[in-house]
Amino acid sequence: MILTGKELNMKKMTYLLYVIGLIQIVLGLFYLFAPAFFLKSIGHTIPQADIFYPLAMLAARFIAYGTALLYIAKEPLKYILWIKFMVLIQLIDLASGVFYTLSGVVNITDSAFPMFNATWMIVLLLLWMPKDTDKI
């Protein structure tokens, strides 16, 4: 069976949403269950213990949004707004990385990989974003 361009883009978007959803869930699990280990392993300083509470709240959002992405991956066209919000999240992540790196708060060796991830997610989400005319 040969896929049309629209069907191929929808298939690529489905796989992309699964990948991004899993990444979000893994990040959430690290921030929830091993925040000190995770922060240290990615080059950041370990904060005071009271900061682990807001990190756990952040983890809840990572896990919930990641799970939602796994769910919407089955029908991307039906959930375009969720995809657009993930683009917004990644744009904020990228802008924050650039800001804190340029201001000297974060070393480029610590911010390059997350900024690269945000960039490829933005590009592929926008490139493969379903259009209303993509209804199959």
The pLDDT value recorded for residue 8 is 84
From 51, 57, 43, 40, select the one nearest 105 (Cα to Cα). 43
3-state secondary structure of 45: coil
Give Cβ neighbours of residue 125 (< 8 Å, ≥ 6 apart).
13, 16, 20, 83, 86, 87, 90
Residue 85 included in any domain? yes
CA distance 121 to 92: 12
Residue 36 included in any domain? yes
The pLDDT value recorded for residue 62 is 98
Ranges of the chain with pLDDT below 70 = 1, 132-136
The pLDDT value recorded for residue 127 is 95
CA distance 76 to 13: 7
Q: b/e per residue, 17-54, with b = 16+ CB within 10 A?
A: beebbeebbebbebbbeebeebbeeeeeeeeeeeebee
Range of the domain at 101: 5-129
The pLDDT value recorded for residue 135 is 60
The pLDDT value recorded for residue 128 is 94
3-state secondary structure of 102: helix
Residue 124 included in any domain? yes
The total number of structural domains that make up the chain = 1
Residue 9 included in any domain? yes
The pTM is what? 0.92
Residue 89 included in any domain? yes
DSSP notation for 87-98: HHHHHHHHHHHH
Residue 11 included in any domain? yes
Residue 136 included in any domain? no
3-state secondary structure of 4: coil
Residue 135 included in any domain? no
